[in-house]
Amino acid sequence: MLVAAEHSAIIGVSLDSRSFTRAWVRFAISHTLSRHKDVELLLGDRLLLYNKAVHEAGSQNVVDLQAAAERIAKRKADLASLIESEINRLPAEHRRRVRISSWVDYSDVAFQDILRNLHICYIALAAFSECVKRDVDVHFASSVEVSRPREHTFLSRLYVLEETAMIIRITELAEKPFFYYPGDDIITLRSIYNDEFAGCGLSVPSLTGRPKSRVFTSLQMQPASEP
């Protein structure tokens, strides 16, 4: 059994979610530091290319990678600045226990191998493909955006696969098994960890060569009590 205080924690930080307010970041850092030896806030910056790079221009699509990169860099800098200001509020002994990382820090061969295998499973396993599609449907159903190129549906499935690969890579192979996020676990990750596709050959051990160890927590702020 994993002992939380002996392990590191990861807080997943989405750049396109409104959940990452200053109040939530402050609460999340305090909560995880009280339970783990250190905490890392992982910025999902590279993921935004899937839904920021493609735009409709009349009857055809246009891919503007440079403009997307600039928008992502701006959002990343703003969010990193917010997080850094909260880290700087901590006593010195606690500041040393918190760090910010980004997608590139874990985009290594291990990550690429997991992602490649998920791509194969997405094509080969109908049940897994449908699971990924459900995640996209849930995202679109809750999105405030109403106009997007139809290609975004497929691009969003790639987004889900890459997000899944990264979370498995960092929690299972980087000795950071405790993962926190302000919302629910995505359906794809939950289904893989529940061994729903193990009979078809897709499981955490088949992707990593190790028994699964990730512990997911949906970290919600408690509403303020009435005076």
Q: What percent of the chain stands above pLDDT 70?
A: 92
Edge-to-edge strand list for the sheet holding 98-102: 98-102, 38-43, 8-13, 178-181, 215-218
Indicate the pLDDT class of residue 3, thresholds 50, 70 and 90: confident
List the single range of 20-34, 43-57, 68-82, 93-107 with lowest mean pLDDT. Answer: 43-57
Q: What percent of the chain stands above pLDDT 90?
A: 80
Does position 151 have pLDDT exceeding 80, yes or no? no
Does position 223 have pLDDT exceeding 50, yes or no? yes
More confident residue, 31 or 5: 31
Whole-number Å distance between alpha carbons of 82 and 75 = 11
* Whole-number average pLDDT of the chain: 91
Identify the pLDDT of residue 144. Answer: 47
Identify the pLDDT of residue 140. Answer: 66
Residue-wise pLDDT for 122-138, tens only, equals: 999 999 999 999 999 88
Whole-number Å distance between alpha carbons of 178 and 71 = 30
Identify the pLDDT of residue 213. Answer: 95
Is 218 in contact with 182 (CB distance < 8 Å)? yes
The CA distances from residue 176 to 8, 96, 180, in Å, are 5, 17, 11
- Tell me how crowded residue 131 is: count the other CB atoms within 10 A of its CB: 21
Identify the pLDDT of residue 139. Answer: 77
Residue-wise pLDDT for 58-82, tens only, equals: 788 899 999 999 999 999 999 999 9
Query: What's this model's pTM, rounded to 2 decimal places?
Result: 0.91
Q: 3-state SS string over the chain?
A: CCCHHHCEEEEEECCCCCCCCHHHHHHHHHHHHCCCCEEEEEECCHHHHHHHCEEEECCEEEECHHHHHHHHHHHHHHHHHHHHHHHHCCCHHHHCCEEEEEHHHHCCHHHHHHHHHHHHHHHHCHHHHHHHHHHHHHHHHHCCCCCCCCHHHHHHHHHHHHHHHHHHHHHHHCCCCEEEECCCCCHHHHHHHCCCCHHHCCCHHHHHCCCCCCEEEECCCCCCCCC
Does position 147 have pLDDT exceeding 80, yes or no? no
